[in-house]
């Protein structure tokens, strides 16, 4: 793997340009996530797809993401970060284009029923299978070039870029959705293709990866990181629920019709994403907050936010709850990612990034079926349940001694 030391001197301007194009690619992926979650539920109901089928599309893609993310991360430790960043973003562009095409063919009556559902599953799964190469390689690229003191704040920049994209995504969907409901998906795919070209030109690793002796695979049960991964899975499940169920919730709980659900869901998702972005930039990066602080404060805010959503009957109250929840989400993600990164050596950064992403992505496997079962009893009961889970994560963080130990890790740039 190429490290900062291996590459030789490079100008601050070149390093900054490389970092910016990497964050731009991350931002576009964040846009695509909220665009799909805002656009698909109302469109799918018009295409005759059941809510469970919609959730299973996300769940299947997430299964591939969880399975292959750590694999791509380990490969990037040996073969360099750039190839896997390009692979993941290219797959994202291709998947989004094909996914949008299937929806468009369904809307025109050229595809329907089981065939349409199967093709949506397959095209979205391309993202999970190959798109999962990008985040662990990108996070490891940042970790390679940071010290223990500033790693958590720099990794928060990665999360902030994703959060900014998530905030912009619903507005982007609303703007292009007026032209055609599928236009936002094609638009995001075009942006991703542009980002691939920019990264190919500006993100360079100047020397070939070096040969290394074989080393044991980093296990998710490694005592250094297992508590971070368990925490990440629990809190990511909490944060995944609003993203996956916001469009359904504004229809079933707040009384919006299918036509206005996209705009209403866009409002609450943008509010949450904006609050998350504020937490990551104005709090984590500005004050360089340590993981042990983020891991404790974040779930407390999530619990308050989700309880507020549960008792909301109007869009304004739901948006306020989403704002509080977004603040919490903006703290927990860099908390457990940064803590896990600091707990291992610099040679294991790709592997630990892959496992951290897999833990978070596992929530998109768990949340749809369990969330739907709870949601079907009463929409508000789902957010009461996630508030309880966030409270449990808070208590776990308070009692978990290793969460403070990660700040003193020996991991440092090579």
Q: Would you list the DSSP string of 194-206? A: HHHHHHHHH----
> Total domain count for the chain?
1
- Domain-located, residue 57: yes
pLDDT confidence of residue 315: 94
Split the chain (414 residues) into runs of 10 and give each run's mean pLDDT: 44 78 91 82 84 87 90 90 95 96 93 93 95 92 83 80 79 80 92 94 64 66 94 94 86 84 81 87 85 94 98 95 95 91 89 89 85 92 97 95 57 40
In the prediction, which pLDDT does 305 show?
98
**How many C-beta neighbours within 10 Å does residue 14 have?**
12
Q: How far apart are CA 31 and CA 46, in angstroms?
A: 23
**Does 414 map to a domain?**
no
- Residue 283 within any structural domain of the chain: yes
Count of residues in the chain: 414
Helix axes 291-310 and 226-252, enclosed angle (nearest 10): 20
Residue 41 lies in a domain: yes
> What pLDDT score was predicted for residue 208?
47
Has residue 47 been placed in a domain? yes
Nearest Cα neighbor of 269 from 333, 196, 326, 351 is 326
213: in domain: no
Whether 46 is in a domain gets the answer yes
The HSE-up count of residue 310 (CA atoms within 13 Å, CB side) is 19
For residue 361, the enclosing domain spans 7-206+221-408
Say if 324 falls within a structural domain: yes
pLDDT at position 169 is: 82
- pTM for this one? 0.74
Give residue 206's pLDDT: 55
We report the CATH number of the domain holding residue 347 as: 1.20.1250.20
Write down the pLDDT at residue 390: 98
- One-letter-per-residue 3-state SS of 223-264: CCCHHHHHHHHHHHHHHHHHHHHHHHHHHHCCCCCHHHHHHH
């Amino acid at each position: 793997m190429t490290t900062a030391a291996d590459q030789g001197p490079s100008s601050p301007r070149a390093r900054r340009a490389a970092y910016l194009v990497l964050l731009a690619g991350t931002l576009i992926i964040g846009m695509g996530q909220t665009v799909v979650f805002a656009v698909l539920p109302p469109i799918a109901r018009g295409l005759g797809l059941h809510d469970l089928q919609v959730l299973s599309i996300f769940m299947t893609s997430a299964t591939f993401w969880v399975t292959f993310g750590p694999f791509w991360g380990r490969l990037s430790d040996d073969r360099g970060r750039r190839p896997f960043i390009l692979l993941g973003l290219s797959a994202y562009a291709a998947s989004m284009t094909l996914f949008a095409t299937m929806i468009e063919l369904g809307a025109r009556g050229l595809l329907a029923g089981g065939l349409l559902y199967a093709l949506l599953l397959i095209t979205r799964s391309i993202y999970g299978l190959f798109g999962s190469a990008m985040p662990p390689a990108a996070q490891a690229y940042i970790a390679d070039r940071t010290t223990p003191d500033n790693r958590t704040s720099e990794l928060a920049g990665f999360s902030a870029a994703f959060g900014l994209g998530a905030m912009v995504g619903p507005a982007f969907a609303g703007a292009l959705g007026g032209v055609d409901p599928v236009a936002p998906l094609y638009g995001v795919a075009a942006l991703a293709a542009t980002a691939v070209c920019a990264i190919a030109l500006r993100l360079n690793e100047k020397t070939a990866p070096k040969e290394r002796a074989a080393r044991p695979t980093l296990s998710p049960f490694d005592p250094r990181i297992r508590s971070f991964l368990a925490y990440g899975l629990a809190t990511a499940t909490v944060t995944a629920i609003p993203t996956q169920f916001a469009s359904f919730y504004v229809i079933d709980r707040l009384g919006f019709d299918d036509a206005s659900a996209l705009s209403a869901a866009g409002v609450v998702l943008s509010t949450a994403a904006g609050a998350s972005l504020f937490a990551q930039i104005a709090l984590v990066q500005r004050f360089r907050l340590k993981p042990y602080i983020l891991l404790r404060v974040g779930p407390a805010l999530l619990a308050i936010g989700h309880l507020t959503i549960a008792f909301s009957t109007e869009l304004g109250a739901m948006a306020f709850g989403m704002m509080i929840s977004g603040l919490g989400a903006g703290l927990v993600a860099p908390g457990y990612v940064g803590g896990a990164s600091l707990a291992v050596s610099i040679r294991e950064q790709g592997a630990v990034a892959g496992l951290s992403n897999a833990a978070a992505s596992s929530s998109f496997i768990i949340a749809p079926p369990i969330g739907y079962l709870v949601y079907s009893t009463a929409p508000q009961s789902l957010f009461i349940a996630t508030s309880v889970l966030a409270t449990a994560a808070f208590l776990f963080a308070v009692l978990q001694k290793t969460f403070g130990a990660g700040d003193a890790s020996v991991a440092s740039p090579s």
